[in-house]
Structure 1
Amino acid sequence: MSATSTGSVYLIDDDSFFLQVHAQLLGSIGLEVHCFGSSRAFLEQYLPRPCECILSDLRMPEMGGLQLQEELLARGLDTPIIFITGHADVATAVEAMRRGAFDYVEKPVHGQQLLDRVNAALALSRERHHERNQRQAREARLALLTAQERKIAQLVVQGRSSREIAELTELSVRTVENHRARLMDKLHVTSVVELVRLLL
């Protein structure tokens, strides 16, 4: 059995017995499990979380797994999805992976295999959430710069000296250096190397 995990799993299947059995399995390692009998019921209640994945049957009435995946993509959501499929649906599951699904498992589902896949999907979800936070923090810092400071920052990153920047922007060297000092302070960077990492 896997060690205790953290995260949310959305379990979607029109088979109530399947939901019950696998909710118990996933809950046994500390996961928060939310069960839904249809894709539409899930979409009506879904709120993205920092560490999550979707475990969905591929074939369901009204809205199947591929349609669910398309709807999430249309909403700009990249929640990792693991599809549960019968042998006859493997080709469809592979197509779902081409469209961005995380993985698929064939029925009958083996407990440890499922736990391993779910934990891997949750790890990816945590990584994506961290990257989004970093990107948003970067964008928030860059938004503090004036248009002139942005231009100077880009020239600094290109390796231009203050004198060269002054000539290109028709500013005095002192003004350029003042802008450089202010933008470095706003961005909370102390060196050109840090500035390059932030802007590239």
Structure 2
Amino acid sequence: MASNEATVFIVDDDEAVRDSLGLLLRSVGYRARCYASAKDFLKAFDPRDYGCMVLDIRMPGMTGLELQKHLSEIGCNIPIVFITGHGDIPMAVEAVRLGAVDFLQKPFEDQELVDRINDALRQAAEQREGELERLEILDRIDSLTAREKQVMGQVVLGKANKVIAGDLGVSQRTVEIHRARVMEKMQANSLAHLVRMVMVAEAQGTPPPAA
């Protein structure tokens, strides 16, 4: 079951590192969960969980970089802070190129890690806010009738009411009524606002309203 509380997921095959990082993070008020391998993490992880990850880049089995790529492939963009050894810098740079928040080279100061985690959690909060907005928009789209979705699809293309009426084979007055209902149900305060909401829905893979 997904949690509404931000969690820092620690994935490292070194038990001593896991224990020390878990203790550190809990001591400064974070909720932390520790895993000995990428496989263990994937077994327990719910993609709806909210938070970030502290991930060792070099582990037996699935490496940290491989885990990052796997999460990206399944559409999970949890912010990641990598921890690396000296010889792993090229891999860490690649991880950042692929979207990681940052990496820390061992040994690192506790405050350095806390600062990077704060950055990652800010990013997670922004992502979550965007997801909540998307879900709200999808709920609003679902509340539209089939005809209202047709009208909205035409409206966001910039078509005038007269043109939409001709395309749909209805009166201009009917289009005006549907358009007003669309604006009300979508809680759009302008055409630009409506277009932006449709773009948010489309950007997340939702089919655009039928035109």
TM-score by length of 1: 0.87
- Amino acid across the alignment from 2:135: Q
Larger radius of gyration: 1
RMSD value, Cα = 2.0
Q: Determine the structure 1 residue equivalent to 2:142.
A: 143
1:78-93 equivalences under 5 Å are 78-93=77-92
Deviation at 1:56, TM superposition (A): 1.2
Q: Determine the structure 2 residue equivalent to 1:3.
A: none
User: What is the number of equivalent residue pairs in this alignment?
Assistant: 195
Matched, 1:133 2:122: no
Give the Cα–Cα distance (whole angstroms) in 1 for the partners of residues 138 and 54 of structure 2: 33
Aligned sequence identity (%): 40
Matched, 1:155 2:154: yes
Deviation at 1:91, TM superposition (A): 0.3
Uncovered stretches (5+) of structure 1, i.e. residues with no partner = 1-5
Matched residue SS, 2:107: coil
Matched, 1:51 2:50: yes
Name segments (4+ residues, structure 1) moved above 6 Å. Answer: none
Give the Cα–Cα distance (whole angstroms) in 2 for the partners of residues 50 and 35 of structure 1: 14
Q: Given the superposition, is the C-alpha separation of residues 74 and 192 from structure 1 closer, same or farther in structure 2, using an over 3 Å criterion? A: closer
TM-score by length of 2: 0.83
Q: Given the superposition, is the C-alpha separation of residues 71 and 194 from structure 1 closer, same or farther in structure 2, using an over 3 Å criterion? A: closer
- Amino acid across the alignment from 1:17: A
Matched residue SS, 1:123: helix
Which whole-Å deviations, capped at 9, do the CAs of 1:63-95 have from their partners, x for residues lacking one? 211121122123221111111101111001111
Q: Contact conserved, 1:50 with 1:126, CA < 8 A, in 2?
A: no
Q: Determine the structure 2 residue equivalent to 1:112.
A: 111
Matched, 1:166 2:199: no
